Structure formats: C-alpha cells, structure tokens
Chains A and B, each alone.
Chain A
Amino acid sequence: MQISGAQMVIEALIAEGVDTVFGYPGGAIMNVYDEIYKQDNFQHILTRHEQAAVHAAEGYSKVSGKVGVAMITSGPGFTNAVTGLADAYMDSIPLVVISGQVPMSLIGTDAFQEIDAVGISRSCTKHNYLVTNASDLPRVLKEAFHIAATGRPGPVHVDIPKDVTAEIAEFDYSIKVDLETYKPHVKGNPRQIKKAIEAIANAKRPVFYLGGGIINANAAYEVRDLVHKTGIPAVETFMARGTLSHDDDLLIGMLGMHGSYAANMAMSETDLVIGLGARFDDRVTGKLSEFAKNAGVIHVDIDPASISKLVHANYPIVGDVKNVVNEILDSVSKINADKYEGWRETIENFEELHPLAYHEDTDRIKPQWVIERVGQLLGDDANISTDVGQHQMWSGQFYPFSRPRQFISSGGLGTMGFGFPAAIGVKAAMPEKTSINFTGDGSILMNCQELMTAVEKKLPVINIILNNNYLGMVRQWQTLFYDKRHSETDLSVQPDFVKLSEAFGGIGYRVKTKEEFDAALKDAVEKNIVAFIEVIVERLENVLPMVPSGGSLFNMMLLEKKEK
C-alpha cells in the first residue's frame, strides 16, 4: 500500500489498537492532523498545553495498562512535552510520543519552531527516533510501540519532519519487530530463584518490599497469592499502592520518607528483604548504610541496572516480576501459619506504638480527614490521581486503595501539574469509575487550563484542592530545617477557585466544614461534571512520620502523642 507518512502514522495507531490520542496541533505536525480529521477510528483529545497531553497519556496508560499516545508539534510544542517525557521515564510508563519536526531541508538552519528534539529527549526517553524517510516509518512506529511496552516500560519519542509526513512510500505493518540488540530478560534464572526460595525458607523476619514494577507487570494478584501463601508481611512503596488491598492483614503499610513507623521499623529489623519490582529509591531507603542493615536482599527486577545499583543484592534475579513470582509460587510450600507469629507480633507492636494518625485539634478541617473521607465515601469506586506535595503523601498514607492501577501519581520526577491532566486520561480510559484528583493550591495552578479539555470532552474529573495557602511541602521543610523562614511559599494571594472552575464551564465548591465537604462531593458525583472542590484546611499541618532527607529509616519524626 503506497500512502503518505502522515497516513502511515494513522494506520499504525489503528493497527496498534489505539483508541485515544492526546495532543495539540501545530505547523510541523499538520499533515498528520489532517489525517486525524479524516478518520474516526480513534478519538483525539485536544489538551490545552502539550505537557498536559503527555500527562494525560500517562494517566491513560497507568490506569489501563496500555501504551499511551501523545502527539505534538515541533519546537515549543515539543519542549513543552519534555516534562511529560521525563515523568514517564522516571515512572516507567509506556508511551509513544510523536512530534512534528521542520522539513529535512531546514534541519540545522535554526528554522522557525526548530529544536533538536531527539537531542533533548535522549536523556529522558527509553529510546527515540528521528525519521528521515517515510519508508522507515512502519518499522520505526512498530519498534516504538514494542520498546515502550516491553522490558522495563518507558516513553519512546518519534520525531517526524514535515516533508517525511508528506512523502509517499510503501506501508506494510505486518513486518516483525527484529531488534537483535534489544531482548529483555523476562524469565528469571532458575538457579537464582531456587537460592532465593531457600533464603526465604531460612529467614526468621522476612519482609516483602513491593514496588511499582509489580503494577507495571500486572503481577499484583500473583503477589497477593505469594504473600498469603507464605504469610510474610509486606511493605509497599508509594508507587506500589494498591498491590495489596488496604485491609490485608499482611500489609504493614507504605515505607520511606513518609512511610508508617511500623513499615520503616520492619524494614530496619528484617533479616531478609524480598524486593519485587522496586528500585531502592532514596526516598524509600533513607541513609543507605543503615537501610535493612542486618538483612539479606532478594531483588527481582526486569532492569538489570536497577539491581545492586544502590543496595547490594545477595540474590539478584533479572526477570519479569510476574514470571518470577509465579515460579516462586509453584515451588514455595505453604508455610506453617505460626512460623512468623513472633515477627508479626513485633510488627503489630510497632503499629500500636505509633499508628498512622493525625489529631483533629483545630477548627479547620485536617487535610488527612478529607482523604480518609473520600476513601470512606467512594473507596473502590474511585480512581485516585494526585499532584505533588503534602496532599500527595497524605493520599499515599490515608487512602484505602484496594486494587492495582487505582492510584496514579508522579513518583519519580515529582511533577506538580501532573494530577489534573493525568486524571483526564484516567477518566478517558475508565469512564465507569469516578476520577478524583487530590491536589494542592500550588499544584492545581500548574495545569488548571485543562479545565477546558475536561469540560469540552465531558470528562468529569473531580479536583479536590486541599487549600492551606501554602506551598505546603516546601513550607514544611522550611519550618523544620530552615528555622521557619518561609521563603516564597506563602500563597495567601489566590484566585477564586470556584469562579475559576465556573469560568471554564465546570462547577466549583468552597468548603470549610465536614458537612459542607460531604455535600459538595455528593453533589459533584451526582452532577457528573468537572468540579473543583476547594477545601480550606489547617495551614500548618505537617506530613508525619518523616525521615529527614539522608537520615535512617528508624529515626523518624513522629506525631506527638496526645493525652486522651
């Protein structure tokens, strides 16, 4: 079939089963947009900023497990999208991002809207391509989808000059991907697995350390089986929330900088860390030399470079976590229920000593209450996105997640402005669930133009703005470590969030009491339209527990106890 490069892009997207593309047109990508206009195989969602297009594709991908697709133009269109690429790269989200480029004849001439896009995206993508011939496009697009979704997933960027999208060439998408230099290890080494199983059998105080790779690998239910079969308690990273259900007896909680006391203490006292799809991030480990100091480490990861990067693995297993967990499940015998009784008691004591909690000791609503309350009211019926900051950590701590892919947040890069567009992508992929975005008064302004996208496309995301008139997380650090010098974090001057939402055709609520909040949430869910619920919360609440940056996990700042 002889077709243009632009038509090839459409045909490839159709062949890949893409049903939604997020994007923003512009000069260099116009040929492709012309073909989008002519087709009705997939929907195109016009975001109001290229960064939002990529975040929406991320949200779409995270909730559905499919490859997210975003399309943008050259120059500023591309540079706006870079934050999204970097975010997806850090959190291993499979995306294909297609950008227009100036025609081949103009590359290198500082042409209008020209930028060395592949030069910029090289360090924040899994792979990238500058396509110089239309005849390469079928292969490149097929490889792009393959690379994005396999191995450790990640974003792939395809830059296509305008004349290449106009060029006519042969299109045959039945070609096989043949990359002799790219063959991810998916099957774990049986000898290593056997050794790991022996280590598990010999451990007295083992802990599962569950990471976001489990979610990426669709392995959460296998991991649940493994945890229950072995009776070994588990901690989750922020990115792994929902792997185990919140009410699972063996779930200790989230670990790390804002992890629970019990989770961090279990990690400090364990004699065997069983790491599954986790990467020992600095926000998780705290001071490396003190992390799980007396423990052996089993580390299962699809990315060999993640293994022993920061913490030495005694039992390294390179492979797809789903395969490896299934292998372990087959060989591990059901462990005597009493085996870890003492160890679990120790952990329960940690939990009783310092449970994850907050004090309702002020007139204002506590932000944690809002998250707990949404959990009570919506629970499993909502998909939860967040922006970045205090509200994000409270969401990780207090929302009762019950399933994988329920929680969508920017973990690695920590991108403010991620939440709302991501929630739009989430809603587009899974319209039957309520899409909640927990956000702050700082973060929401970083992509609030997406109100227009959500209203236009009838994607009723409910944004719950925990408004403390501060850039709260930075304020917290300034309070604790900069002698309360709140440099440039006081956000007393603010827009009217209710009017802001209304101006775009959404609905807005401003609530100060619990009753008002319940009523607002109920109303927003019933009306099923795009909403801002601004909750006036306690200004100076801190996220606790907290392991100060670089400190040891067992040295936590804890919530002060109150006499009852």
Chain B
Amino acid sequence: MTEISERRVISVIVINESSVLSRITDLFSARGYNITSLTVAPIPETKYSRLTIVTSGSVRVIEQITKQLHKLIPVLRVYEHADLVEKEMAMIKFPVTENITEISTLCEAYNGKIVNVGENVIIVMVTDEPKRVENFLKVIKRYNPKEIVRSGAVALER
C-alpha cells in the first residue's frame, strides 16, 4: 500500500539567500525524487522565501523528502499539505484569427480573461486549480494555441 505513488504538494520556507534554490533542487536530483513544478517568491517583509513544490512519490518517499528538506540548514519549515487551496496560472497565446468570443467565454469559465491584444496574437490568462488548468488547456487545443506557459502551483493550507 505504501508504495503507491501519489501527487503531493510541499511548501518550504527558506532563508532568502544565494544558492538556497540549488540546495533544494540538488537534493531532489541527488536522491532521485521528481519535481513536477516549483514556484518560489519572497515572503513580504521577512528574510524568507516560500517555495511550493509539486512532487510525486510513495508515502515513504514523501516522508523522506520532507525530512531531507528539513535537514538543509537554511530551511525553516516544511509543510506537507493535505487539505489545501491550490492555484495555478497559465497564459496562452492565440492567433487573432481564431474565434476570440469563444476563447473569451471559455476563459471566464476558468477564472480568466484576455490580458493582451496585439496585431497578430491575443494573450489570455486563467487562474484555477491545477487540474482545471489542465482541463482548460485540453479544451482550447482546437483554437491552435501558439504558446503556453504555466506558473506551477502555489498552495495554502485551509
């Protein structure tokens, strides 16, 4: 049972100093753990940054990941989330020749909108749960997206 691999979101609070990000990513590569996505930004008015790491592994692997992360000297706290609010942003570029009305309507269904209109392309953004973002990206395939960028997930415990 413990060997089933599951998707997990881990938040890590670290001292905001040089090379701290490499310490985290080196740990994952050195021990053969996966990083599905990783976001990082400073926490306002502190010397800390918050990383949100989406990873996967068995219960045992996830336990090791959190323990190993905690062992790193600049790591203050590691949260392995169970009950959380999780959001991700995606921006997509479409040719203006596509059906903008339909795209716009779809965007609204996924907490999004058109954020830029150019001569040849429009850019839309959506912000939603990672699974829904995934779904959105499937749905808009037929409008020939030229470029897609995803932010990776950020999460907060409920």
Interface residues of A (CB under 8 A from B): 118-119, 122-123, 126-127, 130, 147, 179-182, 303-305, 308-309
Could you tell me if A181 and B15 are in contact, using CB atoms closer than 8 angstroms? Answer: yes
Could you tell me if B22 and A304 are in contact, using CB atoms closer than 8 angstroms? Answer: no
B84 at the interface (CB under 8 A from A): no
**Given A181-B75, A308-B63, A309-B64, also A123-B70 (CB < 8 A):** no
**Given A304-B67, A305-B71, A309-B64, also A122-B76 (CB < 8 A):** no
Could you tell me if B22 and A181 are in contact, using CB atoms closer than 8 angstroms? Answer: no
B73 at the interface (CB under 8 A from A): yes
- Nearest to A303 among chain B residues (CB) is B71
Could you tell me if A305 and B68 are in contact, using CB atoms closer than 8 angstroms? Answer: yes
B6 at the interface (CB under 8 A from A): no
**Given A119-B22, A122-B23, also A180-B76 (CB < 8 A):** yes
Chain A contacts for B76, CB-based, 8 A: 180-181
Chain B contacts for A130, CB-based, 8 A: 18-19
- Nearest to B71 among chain A residues (CB) is A305
B130 at the interface (CB under 8 A from A): no
Tell me the bound Cα distance from A181 to B71 in angstroms: 9
**Given A118-B19, A119-B22, A123-B26, also A305-B64 (CB < 8 A):** yes
- Chain B nearest CB: distance from A289 CB in Å? 12
Chain B contacts for A181, CB-based, 8 A: 14-15, 73-76
Q: Which of B52-88 contact A (CB under 8 A)?
A: 60, 63-64, 67-68, 70-71, 73-76
- Nearest to A122 among chain B residues (CB) is B26
Tell me whether chain B's interface is mostly helix, strand or loop, or mixed. Answer: helix
- Chain A nearest CB: distance from B27 CB in Å? 8
- Chain B nearest CB: distance from A486 CB in Å? 33
The 4 A-B pairs with the shortest beta carbon distances in the complex, nearest first, are: A305-B67, A127-B73, A181-B76, A123-B30
Size class of the B contact interface (CB-based, 8 Å): 10 to 19
Chain B contacts for A147, CB-based, 8 A: 73
Tell me the bound Cα distance from A147 to B63 in angstroms: 24
User: Looking at B14, B70, B71, which has the most chain A CB atoms within 10 Å of its CB?
Assistant: B71
11 contacts between A and B (CB under 8 A): A119-B22, A122-B19, A122-B23, A123-B30, A126-B73, A180-B76, A182-B73, A304-B70, A305-B64, A305-B68, A309-B67
Tell me the bound Cα distance from A303 to B14 in angstroms: 19
Chain B contacts for A127, CB-based, 8 A: 73
Chain A contacts for B68, CB-based, 8 A: 305
- Chain A nearest CB: distance from B71 CB in Å? 6
Chain A contacts for B30, CB-based, 8 A: 123
- Nearest to A143 among chain B residues (CB) is B73
Tell me the bound Cα distance from A305 to B68 in angstroms: 6
Could you tell me if B73 and A179 are in contact, using CB atoms closer than 8 angstroms? Answer: yes
Tell me the bound Cα distance from A123 to B64 in angstroms: 16
Tell me the bound Cα distance from A130 to B73 in angstroms: 15
Tell me the bound Cα distance from A405 to B133 in angstroms: 59
Tell me the bound Cα distance from A179 to B75 in angstroms: 10
Known pairs A118-B19, A181-B15; list 5 more (Cβ under 8 Å).
A122-B19, A127-B73, A179-B73, A305-B67, A305-B71
Chain B contacts for A123, CB-based, 8 A: 26, 30
Tell me the bound Cα distance from A118 to B22 in angstroms: 11
Chain A contacts for B14, CB-based, 8 A: 181
- Nearest to A151 among chain B residues (CB) is B71
Tell me the bound Cα distance from A125 to B30 in angstroms: 13
- Nearest to A309 among chain B residues (CB) is B64
Chain B contacts for A305, CB-based, 8 A: 64, 67-68, 70-71
- Nearest to A124 among chain B residues (CB) is B30
Tell me the bound Cα distance from A308 to B2 in angstroms: 13
- Over the window 22-52 of chain B, the binary record of Cβ atoms lying under 8 Å from chain A Cβ atoms (1 yes, 0 no) is 1100100010000000000000000000000
- Nearest to B14 among chain A residues (CB) is A181
Chain A contacts for B63, CB-based, 8 A: 308
Chain A contacts for B75, CB-based, 8 A: 181
Tell me the bound Cα distance from A118 to B26 in angstroms: 12
Tell me the bound Cα distance from A496 to B58 in angstroms: 55
- Chain A nearest CB: distance from B32 CB in Å? 13
- Nearest to A126 among chain B residues (CB) is B73
- Nearest to B48 among chain A residues (CB) is A181
- Nearest to B23 among chain A residues (CB) is A122
Tell me the bound Cα distance from A130 to B63 in angstroms: 30
Tell me the bound Cα distance from A305 to B75 in angstroms: 14
- Nearest to B60 among chain A residues (CB) is A308
- Chain B nearest CB: distance from A270 CB in Å? 23
Tell me the bound Cα distance from A309 to B26 in angstroms: 19
Tell me the bound Cα distance from A303 to B71 in angstroms: 8
Chain B contacts for A304, CB-based, 8 A: 67, 70-71
Tell me the bound Cα distance from A119 to B64 in angstroms: 23
- Chain A nearest CB: distance from B40 CB in Å? 16
Tell me the bound Cα distance from A122 to B26 in angstroms: 8
Chain A contacts for B26, CB-based, 8 A: 122-123
- Nearest to B74 among chain A residues (CB) is A181
Tell me the bound Cα distance from A294 to B68 in angstroms: 29
Tell me the bound Cα distance from A181 to B67 in angstroms: 14
- Nearest to A304 among chain B residues (CB) is B67
- Nearest to A307 among chain B residues (CB) is B67
Chain A contacts for B60, CB-based, 8 A: 308
Tell me the bound Cα distance from A123 to B74 in angstroms: 15
Tell me the bound Cα distance from A180 to B74 in angstroms: 9
Q: Which of B88-108 contact A (CB under 8 A)?
A: none
Tell me the bound Cα distance from A205 to B4 in angstroms: 34
- Chain B nearest CB: distance from A341 CB in Å? 38
Chain A contacts for B71, CB-based, 8 A: 303-305
- Chain A nearest CB: distance from B60 CB in Å? 8
Chain A contacts for B64, CB-based, 8 A: 305, 309
- Over the window 2-16 of chain B, the binary record of Cβ atoms lying under 8 Å from chain A Cβ atoms (1 yes, 0 no) is 000000000000110
Tell me the bound Cα distance from A123 to B99 in angstroms: 52
Tell me the bound Cα distance from A126 to B27 in angstroms: 12
Tell me the bound Cα distance from A181 to B16 in angstroms: 12
Which of B22, B67, B70 interacts with A122 by CB under 8 Å?
B22
Chain A contacts for B15, CB-based, 8 A: 181
Tell me the bound Cα distance from A123 to B18 in angstroms: 16
Tell me the bound Cα distance from A309 to B75 in angstroms: 20
